[in-house]
Amino acid sequence: MDLGIKGKTAIVCAASKGLGRGCAEALAGAGVDLVINARSAGPLEQTAREIAEKYGVKVTAVAADISTEEGRAKVLAAMPNPDILVNNAGGPPPGMWHDWDREDFIKALDANMLAPIAMMKAVLPAMMDQGWGRVVNITSQSVKSPIAVLGLSNSARAGLTGYVGGTSRQVASKGVNINNLLPGIHATDRAVSLDQGVSAAQGISMEAAKAQRAATIPAGRYGTTEEFGAMCAFLCSEKAGFIVGQNILLDGGAVNATL
Question: Does 91 sit near ligand NAP (CB under 6 A)?
Answer: yes
Question: Does 161 sit near ligand NAP (CB under 6 A)?
Answer: no
CA 18 from centre of chain: 10
Question: Does 123 sit near ligand NAP (CB under 6 A)?
Answer: no
Question: Does 116 sit near ligand NAP (CB under 6 A)?
Answer: no
Question: Does 236 sit near ligand NAP (CB under 6 A)?
Answer: no
Among 16, 87, 154, 155, binds ligand NAP (CB under 6 A): 16
Question: Does 235 sit near ligand NAP (CB under 6 A)?
Answer: no
Nearer to ligand NAP, 189 or 207 (CB): 189
Nearer to ligand NAP, 7 or 253 (CB): 253
**Which residues from 31-90 bind ligand NAP, rule CB under 6 A?**
37-40, 65-67, 88-90
Give the DSSP letter string of 154-175.
Answer: HHHHHHHHHHHHHHHHHHGGGT
Question: Does 14 sit near ligand NAP (CB under 6 A)?
Answer: yes
Question: Contact, 95 vs 151, CB < 8 A?
Answer: yes
Nearer to ligand NAP, 8 or 72 (CB): 72
Question: Contact, 188 vs 139, CB < 8 A?
Answer: no
Question: Contact, 248 vs 137, CB < 8 A?
Answer: no
Q: Smallest distance, Å, CB 78 to ligand NAP? A: 14
Question: Contact, 137 vs 160, CB < 8 A?
Answer: yes
List of residues contacting ligand NAP (CB under 6 A): 14-20, 37-40, 65-67, 88-91, 111, 138, 140, 183, 185-186, 188-191
